[in-house]
């Protein structure tokens, strides 16, 4: 299982491992997306990296939503809605990259992706983790990330 940088840990092993992979793909996209998007090859490479990121984003969201159902998270509908919005934004960017038409500079593009996705982990995801980890019923069914467990 992948380990996550403790500053991005929400304290739940399974989700932290998925977020670690997600961050890895964001980083990959950032490094490819930093190249000049003026050449067709640059667009293609960025689109490919973004497609991989989008696929993983979708599978992570689906897996996380199942997790939230299992743990009876009350704000699941709002969380799902947010996932839908985030995936739509990534989808839109992918379309633009594929069509080789985006006015967005690579730097801005990278910042947008990073901020949206990372903020989601640190904000909304962290909120459900707090809820689930506090529930007495979750004790023993959720594996806590060591780093977090120590803080408790």
Beta partners for residue 12, in sequence order:
144
Q: How far is the CB of 145 from Fe ion (least distance, A)?
A: 14
The answer to whether 109 and 102 are in contact (CB under 8 A) is: yes
Using the rule CB under 5 A, is 16 a contact of Fe ion? no
Applying CB under 5 A, which part among 36-44, 60-68, 70-78, 94-102 lies near Fe ion?
Answer: 60-68
Count the helices and strands in the chain (H runs, E runs): 6, 0
Binding mask 103-122 for Fe ion (x = CB under 5 A): --------------------
Measured between alpha carbons, how far is residue 143 from residues 94, 126, 138, 147 in Å?
A: 35, 15, 9, 12
Q: Judging by beta carbons within 10 Å of its beta carbon (0-12, 13-18, 19+), is residue 10 exposed, middle or buried?
A: buried
Applying CB under 5 A, which part among 27-35, 46-54, 62-70, 105-113 lies near Fe ion?
Answer: 62-70
Answer for which of 125, 132, 142, 144 binds Fe ion (CB under 5 A) is 125
Q: How far is the CB of 83 from Fe ion (least distance, A)?
A: 6
Applying CB under 5 A, which part among 29-37, 40-48, 68-76, 124-132 lies near Fe ion?
Answer: 124-132
Round to whole Å and give the CA distance between 87 and 17. Answer: 20
Q: How far is the CB of 113 from Fe ion (least distance, A)?
A: 15
Helix axes 106-120, 76-98, angle to 10 degrees: 160
Q: Catalog residues that contact Fe ion under the rule CB under 5 A.
A: 64, 125
């Amino acid at each position: 299982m992948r380990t996550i940088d403790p500053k991005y840990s929400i304290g739940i092993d399974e989700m932290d491992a998925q977020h670690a992979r997600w961050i890895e793909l964001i980083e990959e996209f950032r490094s490819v997306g930093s190249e000049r998007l003026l050449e067709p090859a640059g667009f293609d490479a960025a689109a490919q990296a973004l497609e991989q990121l989008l696929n993983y984003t979708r599978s992570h969201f689906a897996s996380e939503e199942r997790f939230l159902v299992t743990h009876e998270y009350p704000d699941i509908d709002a969380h799902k809605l947010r996932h839908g919005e985030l995936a739509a934004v990534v989808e839109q960017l992918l379309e633009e990259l594929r069509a080789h038409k985006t006015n967005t500079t690579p730097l801005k593009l990278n910042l947008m992706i990073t901020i949206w996705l990372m903020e989601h982990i640190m904000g909304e995801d962290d909120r459900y983790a707090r809820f689930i980890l506090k529930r007495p019923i979750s004790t023993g069914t959720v594996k806590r990330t060591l780093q977090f467990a120590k803080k408790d």
